[in-house]
Amino acid sequence: MDGLTPSRRRLLAGALAGGIGAAAGCLGTGSDGDADDGDGAELRLSLSRVDGTLRDRYVRDPDDPPEGWDGSALDAALAGESYTTQGRKPFFAAPDDPAYVLDEGTYRELGSVVVDEVRETYPVLRLFETDGDVESAVDGSKDGSLPEADQRAVRIAYFAARARGDEGGYPVGLVQRGGYAYRTDPARDDSALLDDDGPDRVSYRDTAYRVEIERERFHEAVYRPAATAVAERPERMEAILRARFVGPRIERGDLSAEARRIVEQADMEEYAETHPYSDAYVELLRAMDARPYIDGNVRKDAGASETEEEMIRYGEEYYERYLRVVDGADD
């Protein structure tokens, strides 16, 4: 499966730091675009080898689907039976992030189509911070007395309440309408907060909140799952995945010895140079189709406000390629 290590992902999660100006063909640290004197911005490259084949990474066994997939939808799609899901895609698949399974020797791409729209009314829990005593509120944490459905609702509504105070973001897709929507019958049936005589205050993370519940109308898409046969042979499936997910292809023999040395270092840790770059670095950047980092206004043209990630093929192996620009003064 995925050969990326968590430590590598954390290392490369930093965004572009400091003000970085660039003129065509050079990186500068000042807004006037003066040439870099060697103490300013660096272009850093890191490579993470992807273990195994792309099939190992992207193709799932129907008997071991990812958590969150609708198992009944998968069974129905593979059997060609009629089935629909409401309000959520059955496999979380999108055109740029498809899902695949190997079913009895046939590789299938999973997806869904919208076949209808329905209107539903759901209770929505919102929390509002209050100055009341925390001890007198019902404990909404997992150690409290509320049912599990309400514990989940409080946890998600808490993120929305926190975001109103500009203290942090919230998980998109879980928070809805500024709170938590009780969409399923089991969640509604098990809830204590939804009872007419339910608690009007809860506590979470040492803060007391006023409970507000409103019944609101939602318009939801109805999805029909689909499983399209795309390949019978592993080699054909690998080619399909390469075409979809892999960018530049680089042959080792096409690079100079010095450019190959840079690849080896970037694979082990991280490689960085300050502009003007060495001939070998420029050679490698061109081979990876990272030309905006060489020739243009890096901040504007290369989209370097955050780490850029792309999968490449080097020789017979796949790599996740990360490029980022950082201010040398930050290290």
pLDDT digits (tens, 9 = 90+) for 192-201: 999 999 999 9
211's tokens: 């409970």
Report yes or no: 253 and 315 within 8 Å, Cβ to Cβ. Answer: no
User: pTM of the prediction?
Assistant: 0.71
User: What's the confidence (pLDDT) of residue 6?
Assistant: 33
User: What's the confidence (pLDDT) of residue 33?
Assistant: 37
User: What's the confidence (pLDDT) of residue 169?
Assistant: 67
Residues 64, 66, 71, 73, CA torsion sign: negative
Contacts of 65 (CB under 8 A, 6+ apart): 71, 74, 101
35's tokens: 């040439």
255's tokens: 């690079």
3-state DSSP assignment of residue 126: strand
- Would you say residue 57 has pLDDT above 70? yes
Average pLDDT over residues 266-274: 93
1-27: pLDDT as tens digits? 343 333 333 333 333 333 333 333 333
What percentage of the chain has pLDDT greater than the value 90? 67
pLDDT band at 36 (very low <50, low <70, confident <90, very high): very low
- Would you say residue 323 has pLDDT above 90? yes
Contacts of 100 (CB under 8 A, 6+ apart): 58, 59, 60, 107, 108, 109, 110, 230, 237, 241
211-239: pLDDT as tens digits? 999 999 999 999 999 999 999 999 999 99
Written as one string, the DSSP assignment of 197-263 is T--SEEEETTEEEEEEEEEEEEEEEEEEEEEEEEESSHHHHHHHHHHHHEEEEE-GGGS-HHHHHHH
82's tokens: 């009629």
User: What's the confidence (pLDDT) of residue 18?
Assistant: 33
250-261: pLDDT as tens digits? 999 999 999 999
Kindly give the pairing relationship between strand 317-327 and strand 308-314.
antiparallel
Report yes or no: 172 and 190 within 8 Å, Cβ to Cβ. Answer: no
Higher pLDDT, 94 or 59: 59
Bridge partners, 209 (sequence order): 129, 202
Higher pLDDT, 102 or 68: 102
131's tokens: 């100055």
Q: What is the mean pLDDT of the chain?
A: 84
User: What's the confidence (pLDDT) of residue 37?
Assistant: 43
The distance of Cα 20 from the centroid of its chain, to the nearest Å, equals 27
80-122: pLDDT as tens digits? 999 999 988 999 888 888 999 999 999 999 999 999 999 999 9
The structure tokens 């506590």 sit at 203
